[in-house]
Amino acid sequence: MNNRTAYGAAGGVAFVTGLLVGVRAGLLLAPQSGSRTRRQQRSLVEDVHERAGCMVIDAREARGRVVESGNCLIA
């Protein structure tokens, strides 16, 4: 990995981290009750977890189709 790639990756991680911190701060400072905010955050986390699981399953199925078709370059 060269310096340019490392700086790009670090910048991307910093951007995503800042975005998440900003969203979290916005939720915590929102003018609503704490229990409602926690419910919304729990729902969001559960939704993201479910979507990530579906993406992993889809990726595994796609990989399996590629391997079965013989178009895989992995030895």
Give the per-residue pLDDT at 26: 83
Alpha helices in the chain, H assignment, sequence order: 3-28, 34-69
Report yes or no: 27 and 19 within 8 Å, Cβ to Cβ.
Answer: no
* pTM for the full predicted model: 0.45
14-35 confidence digits (pLDDT tens): 888 988 888 888 877 878 887 8
